[in-house]
Amino acid sequence: MFSRALIKPFFVRDVYHDTDRIKPFADSFPNLFPGDGETFGVQPFLQRWFLDINSGFIFGNP
């Protein structure tokens, strides 16, 4: 029961309707990529991006 209450806010429609809360993260995301033109794995960058977005949602900080 506790786990359901913990993740329920992630499935509320208003969370996905308001995209202004992810704008700062989306704007800064390309700056994480290396600028030297080399091939790189994007998974660590996506994991950090999702962690930043979700921790901002959980703790109320942009």
Which two structure tokens, joined as six digits, stand for 40? 């790189």
- Total Cβ atoms within 10 A of residue 34: 9
Query: Would you state the pLDDT for residue 34?
Result: 82
Query: Would you state the pLDDT for residue 4?
Result: 75
| Integer Cα distance of 45 and 56 in angstroms | 16
Query: Would you state the pLDDT for residue 30?
Result: 84
Total of domains in the chain = 1
17 vs 36, residue with greater confidence: 36
Its domain, for residue 19, covers 2-32+40-59
